Every structure is written in C-alpha cells, then in structure tokens.
Amino acid sequence: MTSHSRSSRRRAAAASTVSLLAATVVAGTVGQTSALAATPVPAGFTVTQLATGPAGLSSPDDITRLGDHLFVAYQNGVGSDGKPSSNGTTKSVIVEYTLTGKQLASWSVVGKVDGMGADTAHERVLASVNEDGNSSLYSVSPGKSSAKQVEHYGYQGLTHGGGTDSVLVTGGKIYITASAPAADADGKTYSKAALYTATLTPGMSGKDGVVALTAVLADNATAVDLVTGKSTKLNLSDPDSSEKVPAAVPGIGGDLLLDSQGDKQLVLLHGGDTPKVLNVSTQVDDTAFATNTTGTLYVVDSGSNRLEAITGHFTAGQAFTSVPGDSDTLKSTLGTIDLASGKITPFASFGSPKGLLFVNETLPAGSGPSTGPSASASVSTTASGTAGPSAAVSASASASQGAAASSTAPALAETGSSGSGTIAAVGAVVVLLGGAALFVTRRRVGRRG
C-alpha cells in the first residue's frame, strides 16, 4: 500500500472491524455458534470454527505456538503507537489456549501487540508492541511464578525511526522486524534498518530489561529478483511479518522470509547470501507453507474475531498467504502464492484474515465450538522504562476447569496459575468458545495494524 493512503485505510479497516465484531458477538453467543455461516473453501477441504474471541477482547492479530499451547494476541483497538482506543483501552491481551481451544491463561500488556514469537530455549513468548512508534518488548514465561511471568524490555539500537513488529526465533537467534521506517530526506526512499537481531538482558530488582538490537538488513539492500534473476535495489517502506521457510520448499527452503507488505514484496534471506525478492500481486500479511499433504492450516479472521482451521489434502511446499480486508485487491482473501511468478490466487474468503500457521497434525474429528466454566487468578506487576510505555502491567491468568495441559508439553502444564491464586473475573463474563487446534493471527496491512 502506498504511504499516502495508509492512514485512511486504517480508519476504514477499523470501522469495518467494529461492525463485523458487533455482528459476531451476537451470532457467537453460547448455543448459537452453529448458526455462524461457514467459510467457503475448495472441494476436498473443510473449515472448522475453533472459537470466537473471549468477551471484551477483539482484533486478534498474531499467534505463536510454545510446546502444545497457543498464544494469541488481541489488540483491542489500541493505536499503532500505543495511543488508547476509542473507548480508552490501552492494553492488548495475550491469551493462552490448549490445542483444542480451551482457554488456560491471559496476560494484559500495555500497548498494541503486533508481533509474537516463541523462544522455546527459554520457555517464553516474546511480544513486540506498537509497530509505528513508542515501541518496546515483553516476555511472557508461563512456567514461572505469577509475579515473574511478565517482563518488560526497552530497546537499544532502534535506529530506523519507527516501531517493531514481527518476532521470529530461529537458529538460536531472535529477529525483530523494523516496521514503519522513517523516509530519507526526499520522502521517497528508505535506507534505514529493515530487520534486527536482538539480545535480551533481563532487568534486575523489578526494573526493565534491555533489548540490544543489531541491524542485519537495510531497506535499500541489493537483492536478486526471484523470477527474473536480475539484480535490483530494494526500497522497503513497510517491513512487516516474518517466517522461517520450511526446508521442504524447493528453492527457498531454510530461508528467512520478510514481508514488506505495503511494497508487495517478499524478501528472502539465507545466511550471508545476497537477499532474494519476490514481487507479489497484492499486499499480503502472513505467509504459511504446507509441509505435508495432510495437516491443518490455522487462520485467524480478525474481521469476525474468529479462529478457524482448514483441513484437507494439501500439496507439500504450497505457500498460503493472508490478504486482509484493506488490501487494494483480493481483499479479505486467503490465497496461495505462485512462487514462480508472485501471483496470488484466491483459496477462501474471510472477514479479514491475518495470521496463518500450518502444522502436520490433522485437526481431531469432532473439533469445533465448545463452552465450559472458567476461573482466573490475577496478579499485577509493574513495567517501567525509557524506551517504551511505562505503566502497570496486569498479568491475568485464567484457567479453564478440567482443561489440563497436553502430556507432550509437561513444562507448560498448569501455566498461568500458581498455588491457590485469587479468583477473579477477567474483563467481564468470559465466554470460552473452544475447539481443537492452533490459532493464528499475524500482523497488519501496509503500515497498518
């Protein structure tokens, strides 16, 4: 998306989201979930509604999987630079689910969570806030005691003039996207950092930690066009989401994929090699690759506040992408990418698809909406610092009764609750709509949220 139209598209997308969310709240009431219209998918595929966002939460936008649990970020209308929503909300909520869609715990953090990644080596989720400015980072460690689960970090070396977006942990390194870069003096070219590696140093005695950033890709780097093979100079105005390409994908297996959404470009990095670039036919958000002929593609539909799963017979190596509701063409589409040409072909329609996640496991039979009682244990910590929003951070852990953690992830069992905990309601009356499988969300459109 061109820079001059991003703000107006954000406002239009926000209005559309509010309308769709209102309709979803009515349709998604307990006992009425079966009345929700099914998302059309090609013959041979099935879409399953996993859940509607918990009461009071809206705009899911990113997901990560840690062990056998899912962590989904709900932005709740908070501005891209951390400004309060129209109703005064200043916090995003990260919700932990089992693979069957049962809510286990939740944590509120100040700002708009626009990128998350799982750091399995440290058993934590990393979440960046505020993609356009006033940016900082949080870590959520479900296995720690309640008072230590949420940590806040300020940035050192944030040189590109914007905020931060996607967080990707791969190969022992943490990558953070340099979103919303400042333009050069001419207002048309970009030459700042597009991607950083990060080193985290926790704070001591309740103080904020520090994230030391090192630029590893410039907005104006030289790249090789993946289609023509010719050398070209990048001009990245909108670095956004990132993904590790599975080894099974021909030609680009093992690469780190960076989406420059408003520029309609996917940049591929492989060690110290010259980057490659694929020009695509519309602005896209997240990307996921089928790594098996069977499995599950998880999709978050931010427009309807729903989490969906698609099953069927996939083609190994097939690339899927989300085209949100404010893209210029093919809006509100889950598409496939022709890696030989960059053409996006519609696969299914959603309100505004965001994050995607493909797993080799097939969604269990009988998965779908379910409800159940829940309780929550609430604890508050304080996050303060100079490089990000300084305010009280509420870490709210809510555990569904009878929703035990998966036996394949014992380190994550009973996360979010410690000892007897104080029983309290999270937000308002929380209606848990479960299902089976993982969640999905990811990022925005253009330099939008």
pLDDT tens, position by position, 6-42: 433 333 444 444 333 333 333 333 323 333 445 689 9
Q: If 0-12 CB within 10 Å is exposed, 13-18 middle and 19+ buried, where does residue 245 land? A: buried
| Residue 445 binned pLDDT confidence (cut-offs 50, 70, 90) | very low
C-alpha span between 70 and 51 (Å, rounded): 13
65 vs 437: which has the higher pLDDT: 65
- In this predicted structure, the answer to whether residue 276 has a pLDDT above a threshold of 50 is yes
Give the position of tokens 């997240």: 286
> Rounded to whole angstroms, how far apart are CA atoms 352 and 430?
24
The pLDDT value recorded for residue 2 is 34
Mean pLDDT score, 267-284:
96
Task: Kindly report the average pLDDT of the chain as a whole number.
Answer: 78
Q: Please, which pLDDT band fits residue 89 given cuts at 50, 70 and 90?
A: very high
Q: Which residues of 332-371 are buried (b: 16+ CB within 10 A; e: fewer)?
A: bbbbbbbbeebebeebbbbbbbbbbbbbeebbeeebbbbe
Please indicate, yes or no, if residue 337 is contained in any of the structural domains: yes
Give pLDDT, residue 384. 33
Half-sphere exposure of 156 (CA within 13 A, CB side): 8
Structural domain contains residue 245: yes
User: For the residues 168-193, what does the mean pLDDT come to?
Assistant: 97
Asked, for residue 396, whether it belongs to a domain, the answer is yes
As a whole-number percent, the residues of the chain with pLDDT over 70 amount to 72
DSSP 8-class letter at 281: S
| Residue 124 maps to a domain | yes
Q: Is the pLDDT of residue 251 over 70?
A: yes
Tokens 């799963």 correspond to what residue?
309
Whether residue 131 is contained in a domain is answered as: yes
**Residue 35: DSSP 8-state:** G
pLDDT surpasses 50 at 58? yes
pLDDT band for 368, please (50, 70, 90 cuts).
low
Residue at 360 is within a domain: yes
pLDDT computed for residue 103 by the predictor = 86
Q: Which of helix, strand or coil describes residue 15?
A: helix
Mean pLDDT (whole number) for 144-153? 96
The pair of structure tokens assigned to 385 is 């610092």
The mean pLDDT of 415-430, rounded to a whole number, is 32
d(CA 83, CA 423): 30
pLDDT at 188 over 70: yes
pTM, to two decimals? 0.76
Give φ, ψ of 26 to 5 degrees. Answer: -70, -50
Six token digits for residue 169: 């942990």
Q: Which residue has the higher pLDDT, 194 or 68?
A: 194
Distances from the Cα of 7 to the Cα of 1, 80, 248, 326, 353, angstroms: 10, 11, 39, 11, 19
In the predicted model, is pLDDT for residue 348 greater than 70? yes
In this predicted model, what pLDDT tens digit does every residue of 150-170 receive, in sequence order? 999 999 999 999 999 999 999
Q: Which two tokens stand for residue 235?
A: 């001009």
Of residues 423 and 350, more confidently modeled: 350
d(Cα 206, Cα 91) in Å, to the nearest integer? 20
Q: How confident is the model at residue 359 (pLDDT cuts 50, 70, 90)?
A: confident
Q: How many residues does the chain have?
A: 449
Residue 321 above 70 pLDDT? yes
The C-alpha atoms of residue 93 and residue 14 are separated, in whole angstroms, by 18
CA distance 333 to 344: 10
Sequence-separated contacts (24+) of 17-20 with Cβ below 8 Å: 17/58, 17/59, 17/302, 17/303, 17/325, 17/352, 20/303, 20/304, 20/305, 20/351, 20/352
Tell me whether residue 205 is in a domain. yes
In angstroms, what CA-CA distances link 393 with 109, 306, 340, 439?
Answer: 5, 26, 46, 24
Q: Is residue 438 domain-resident?
A: no
Where in the sequence is the domain holding 200, given as residue range(s)? 3-412
Residue 139: strand pairing partners: 126, 151
pLDDT band at 369, cuts 50/70/90? low
Q: Burial level of 34, CB count in 10 A (0-12/13-18/19+)? A: exposed
pLDDT computed for residue 430 by the predictor: 32
Give the total number of structural domains in the chain.
1
Q: DSSP 3-state assignment of 26?
A: helix
Nearest to 397 by CA among 109, 89, 96: 96
Q: Give the CATH number of the domain where residue 292 resides.
A: 2.120.10.30
**Can you tell me which residue has the tokens 């980072």?**
137
Which segment of 136-150, 174-188, 314-328, 377-391 scores lowest on mean pLDDT? 377-391
